[in-house]
Structure 1
Amino acid sequence: MTKTAYSRNRPYSPDPDASEQVKHWHTPDLTADARSQDTRTNALNMHLPEATAAAAEEQEQELVIKPLTADDIEQMRQAAHDEGILQGKEEGFAKGYSEGREQGQQDGFKQGQAEGKRQGLEDGATELDTLRAELSVLLDQLQQPLAKIDNRVEQELLQLCLAMAKAVINVEVTTNPKVILQALQEAVSALPLQSSNLIIKLNPADVASVKRHYNDTELTERGWQLRPEPLVEQGGCLVESISSSVDRSLNQRIQSSLEHFLQLAETADSSEHAAAESSDIPTQQAQSNDAQSKDAQSEHSQLKDTQANDTQVKDTQVKDSPPND
């Protein structure tokens, strides 16, 4: 309804539509007017704006300090005490951990160094024994072929000596008739004294040489019967009696002489070897004494290191222990 209609129709009675609109009308907010009537001013005696006034009101509310009670003071003291204990515990733990770790590293390094040195010596000795055993086996394997070669060379040298001696003696026998006479005398002397009726087998060339030295009468008086034997080499003889016989052939005489020579050489080598072994005994004893002395020094050094480590650990424990009240 317009204003004109309202002024003409008095008194007014609202129609249903207007009544419905009145029902939905809201009461206006009057708090803004109340806030605008705030009498607080600033330093220039001017009213504060709404935002500044709200902030000032909140600041006044925050500045309100309640008085502390005994419980509050006790709680604050206990909290400060707990905080101090916790802080001291953390600082003490950090300091003790740092010092203990450093000391532990030093002690562990020294102990590990000593144990590592000892273990290294033991491992080195074991490895040295193994290498020594392997070297001994290799030397034995090398010496076996050498020993066989030595034996073969010895036999070949013996045969060479026999051949050379035989060649020299053959020349001597051919040019010197005294050789067969000396062999005959040696063979007869080797028989027992009561031997008689001796049969002497000679090379046909030597029979003539013996008969030139002894005539038939001397041969009969001596009881010698000369028999030519082509198998007997010139310069040798075989003397036989009823009970015994003597072989003074050329090969047998050479073999006997060489065996006697080799026996003398072996005796000389054995004497030199025994003398060398006797001279090596003091050297081996000295080496053994040196090794024992080094082992004793090593054990003494390890013992000193262990004692020093124990002393340092004890000193550390004494320093770290809390003082008595």
Structure 2
Amino acid sequence: MSRDLHRPFALDSVSSELAEHWDLPDIGDDSNEPEVNAVNRQRPVEPEPEETEEAPQPLTLAEIEAIQEEARQEGFDQGKADGHQQGLEQGRLKGLEEGHQQGFEQGLEQGLAEGKVRIDAKVAQWQSLLAELVAPLKAVDDQIEHELVELSVQLAKAVIACEVKTQPEPLLVALRQGMDALPSKGQQVVIETNAEDLELIQQSFGEQELTRRDWQLQLEPSLSRGSLRLVTSRSQVEMDLATRMETVLQGFLARPRDPVSEPPYPEFSPEPVSQEANAPESASAEVVPDTPASTDTADAESKPEA
């Protein structure tokens, strides 16, 4: 037993296979690992001595003023920076808004000006086209107007001629007007007329009245119905029916009349719309009653007798 204790240690083949290499432990200072003693027990940690805090010294007036000044300056700088940033943002927004408004107004004004030029060009073009359309219509209106006037004149003459054949008033009115047109009164008057009117005058006045007025009836076949010729020793007066009708119709056509009701032409047309489109109605309505009682023939021709 004692021999074994003093015999040197040697590894057999089995132990050498099981043996592992062992590195030396790090003996450096590692403050993070707890210190242990020889028996691998942690040494008790000695408490560190507590640091005694010194009581703060009271601030002096100068230090207080310095702190206040520093705080004021810091607040001023911070407010200035914030105000500058806010002012830049507000100025940018306001400038953007004003620029947008100004640009909008300028664009609107420019657009209106350019639009007006284009509109004026289109209006001129349409006016030219309308003028080309209106010109043929105006020519047709003028032609229709002329034809209506001619028709109304012929209609009026036909109505007057029929009135003369059926009523004695037109002839008697012409006789009275012719007597008034004679330059001297109280002398013998020879009344020349056609057979129908001669008989009509005899029936209207009678022989006794004709003798009292010193009127002498004389047949003149060349005179038309409604026409008279008054002859005295010094003058004669022609009371031709065609001349009287022409005088009345010319006076009717020459006088102004109210505008007719018709669709207006475009405003650019320089020529006024004709006002004689209603000539047939007016001629038939006015010429007939004016014939027996018209005073326009009072200025009948008066020729001195040779």
Q: TM-score, normalised by structure 1?
A: 0.40
